[in-house]
């Protein structure tokens, strides 16, 4: 094993975490699964090695903490307010190994580098338990719990096997009625800083290893259910059909047309058809829809257009359209002081002038969207090859991770200087 705190150590730990997968041939680790528990155990050991004491909170998020003087300290105990570094440990299906995990492991490496350095605040590292929403449709469950935004309406949301969120909590060994204990208080936090691969092509196109994030897109997710009539594929003339899948196909192409005319993004990522037989006209089609916009107003205006188009298509084709919103998160501006600290870190690590450091907004979602409710948020982006993510080909170069480690460490020290000056 490479020495802790090095870029090689970070790369190796991201490789290690691929073991904790529900599929032998691919990486998939969802909220409250046995693999989630195993990944938490592995990461906990690395946190201990880095000089942090650890605790799993009431929503399955893993926390590590040291006091301002560097002493390991149990998360959740009273003490100085903390600067939190971290990201998430859950994945999409057939995931890459860096989305989320890189940010957690990199944060542990930075904590290790700073273990003998007194800071004016406590330092914590978090591995959030559910950023992607792969299992229950609602994303950011871990960071919503940590930011005190848990909505009891979520308890009955079920996974693909019909297991509800409440049942999954109990199976994982968590008490649903204690979820409020995971909530952090604003007065106990100095800020939340996350390192993440960019998941897009901007840094690579600019020939830059790192950038700081200015804002995160607002998101909404829906399940659209189209109900027609299942009938014989041979015996039913076209004039008598109410084909749910053909209606869905029209809607999918219309969604793309509508979104392309805006600066928002819209994706239908999954379709389920019933009864799903070669010789039966589909009676039901269930689609997921993911919407993102730089502004919430832009995103919401696109949704109004999609909703109207969906109802028009349903009317034309004699089918019924029902809509359930499963997730909504506001667009989030990174705090000016956090942007400045990350930009300073990048300038110091790369030797670039502060003015030439690239700031970019994130169309991808992050735990900071939830943490913004309780503390200031900042993010460091790393270049990833071909901008690809949510795919096993996700790749980041060890050289870029080495620069990111320096930049992230410098960003923490820049925040420490600010904090001292403000006292």
Q: Binding partner of residue 418 among Mn ion, ligand GLV, none, CB under 5 to 8 Å per kind?
A: none
CA-angle at 364, arms to 310 and 333, nearest 5°: 105
Shortest distance, position 91 Cβ to Mn ion, whole Å = 7
Between 33 and 362, CB nearer to ligand GLV: 362
Side-chain half-sphere exposure of 326, counting CA atoms within 13 A: 25
Q: Which of 170, 181, 188, 171 is nearest to 148 (CA)?
A: 181
**Strand runs labelled E in 183-231:** 189-197, 210-216, 218-227
| Residues 140, 329 contacting (CB under 8 angstroms) | yes
| Contacting ligand GLV within 322-351 (CB under 6 A) | none
| Dihedral pair phi/psi, residue 396, rounded to 5° | -130, 145
Between 133 and 282, CB nearer to ligand GLV: 133
Looking at 261-335, list the stretches that DSSP marks H as alpha helix, in order from N- to C-terminal side: 296-317
Between 51 and 142, CB nearer to Mn ion: 142
Question: Which are the contacts of 1, defined by CB distance < 8 A and separation ≥ 6?
Answer: 9, 12
SS3 286: strand
Question: In the stretch 119-158, what mask flags binding to ligand GLV with x, by CB under 6 A?
Answer: -------------x--------------------------
Between 180 and 269, CB nearer to Mn ion: 269
200 binds Mn ion (CB under 5 A): no
Q: Binding partner of residue 283 among ligand GLV, Mn ion, none, CB under 5 to 8 Å per kind?
A: none
Between 113 and 294, CB nearer to ligand GLV: 294
Shortest distance, position 412 Cβ to ligand GLV, whole Å = 24
Shortest distance, position 325 Cβ to Mn ion, whole Å = 20
| Dihedral pair phi/psi, residue 295, rounded to 5° | -120, 150
- The residue number whose beta carbon is nearest to ligand GLV equals 365
Shortest distance, position 317 Cβ to ligand GLV, whole Å = 30
Shortest distance, position 139 Cβ to ligand GLV, whole Å = 6
Q: Which of 5, 223, 182, 195 is nearest to 88 (CA)?
A: 195
Shortest distance, position 290 Cβ to Mn ion, whole Å = 11
DSSP state of 101: H
Shortest distance, position 75 Cβ to ligand GLV, whole Å = 25
Q: Binding partner of residue 159 among Mn ion, ligand GLV, none, CB under 5 to 8 Å per kind?
A: none
| Residues 66, 116 contacting (CB under 8 angstroms) | no
Q: Which of 47, 107, 364, 401 binds ligand GLV (CB under 6 A)?
A: 364
Between 75 and 298, CB nearer to ligand GLV: 298
Euclidean distance between CA atoms 253 and 310, whole angstroms: 11
| Dihedral pair phi/psi, residue 57, rounded to 5° | -85, -175
Euclidean distance between CA atoms 54 and 75, whole angstroms: 6
| Contacting Mn ion within 285-344 (CB under 5 A) | none
| Dihedral pair phi/psi, residue 108, rounded to 5° | -65, -40
Side-chain half-sphere exposure of 401, counting CA atoms within 13 A: 25
Between 248 and 291, CB nearer to Mn ion: 291
Total chain residues near ligand GLV (CB under 6 A): 3
Shortest distance, position 177 Cβ to ligand GLV, whole Å = 29
Q: Binding partner of residue 365 among Mn ion, ligand GLV, none, CB under 5 to 8 Å per kind?
A: ligand GLV
Total chain residues near Mn ion (CB under 5 A): 2
Euclidean distance between CA atoms 99 and 87, whole angstroms: 9
DSSP state of 311: H
Shortest distance, position 17 Cβ to ligand GLV, whole Å = 16
Between 144 and 313, CB nearer to Mn ion: 144
Question: In the stretch 89-108, what mask flags binding to Mn ion with x, by CB under 5 A?
Answer: ----------xx--------
365 binds ligand GLV (CB under 6 A): yes
Between 100 and 310, CB nearer to ligand GLV: 100
Tell me whether strands 320-329 and 218-227 are parallel, antiparallel or unpaired: antiparallel
| Residues 158, 328 contacting (CB under 8 angstroms) | no
Cβ burial of 187 (10 Å; 0-12, 13-18, 19+) is exposed
Between 332 and 344, CB nearer to Mn ion: 332
Shortest distance, position 365 Cβ to ligand GLV, whole Å = 3
CA 91 to chain CA mean position, Å: 9
What residues make contact with ligand GLV under the rule CB under 6 A?
132, 364-365
What residues make contact with Mn ion under the rule CB under 5 A?
99-100
């Amino acid at each position: 094993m490479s020495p802790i705190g090095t870029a090689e150590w970070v790369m190796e730990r991201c490789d290690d975490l691929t073991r904790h997968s529900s599929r032998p041939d691919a990486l998939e680790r969802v909220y409250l699964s046995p693999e989630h528990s195993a990944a938490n155990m592995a990461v906990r050991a690395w946190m201990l090695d880095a000089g942090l004491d650890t605790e799993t909170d009431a929503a399955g998020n893993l926390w590590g903490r040291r006091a301002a003087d560097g002493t390991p300290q149990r998360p959740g105990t009273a003490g100085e307010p903390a600067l939190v570094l971290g990201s998430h440990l859950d994945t999409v299906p057939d995931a890459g190994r860096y989305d989320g995990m890189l940010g957690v492991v990199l944060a542990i490496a930075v904590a290790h580098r700073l273990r003998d350095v007194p800071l004016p605040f406590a330092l914590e590292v978090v591995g959030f338990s559910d950023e992607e929403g792969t299992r229950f449709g609602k994303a950011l469950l871990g960071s919503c719990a940590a930011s005190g935004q848990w909505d009891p309406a979520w308890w009955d949301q079920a996974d693909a096997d019909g297991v509800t969120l409440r049942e999954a909590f109990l199976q994982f060994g968590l008490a649903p009625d204690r979820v409020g204990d995971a909530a952090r208080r604003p007065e106990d936090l100095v800020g939340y800083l996350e390192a993440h691969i960019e998941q897009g092509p901007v840094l690579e196109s600019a020939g830059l290893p790192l950038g700081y994030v200015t804002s995160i897109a607002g998101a909404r997710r829906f399940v659209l259910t189209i109900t027609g009539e299942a009938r014989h594929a041979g015996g039913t003339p076209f004039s008598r059909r109410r084909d749910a899948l053909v209606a869905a196909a029209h809607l999918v192409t219309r969604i793309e047309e509508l979104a392309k005319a805006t600066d928002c993004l819209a994706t239908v990522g999954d379709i389920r058809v019933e009864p799903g037989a070669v010789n039966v006209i589909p009676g039901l089609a269930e689609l997921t829809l993911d919407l993102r916009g730089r502004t919430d107003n832009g995103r919401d205006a696109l949704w109004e257009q999609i909703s109207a188009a969906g109802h028009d298509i349903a009317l034309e084709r004699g089918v019924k359209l029902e809509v359930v919103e499963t997730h909504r998160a506001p667009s989030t501006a990174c705090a000016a002081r956090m942007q400045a600290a990350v930009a300073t870190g990048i300038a110091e690590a790369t030797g670039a002038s502060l003015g030439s450091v690239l700031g970019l907004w994130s169309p991808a979602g992050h735990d900071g969207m939830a943490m913004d409710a309780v503390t200031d948020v900042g993010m460091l982006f790393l270049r990833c090859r071909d901008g690809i993510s949510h795919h096993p080909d996700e790749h980041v170069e060890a050289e870029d991770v080495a620069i990111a480690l320096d930049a992230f460490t410098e960003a923490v020290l820049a925040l420490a200087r600010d904090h001292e000056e403000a006292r």
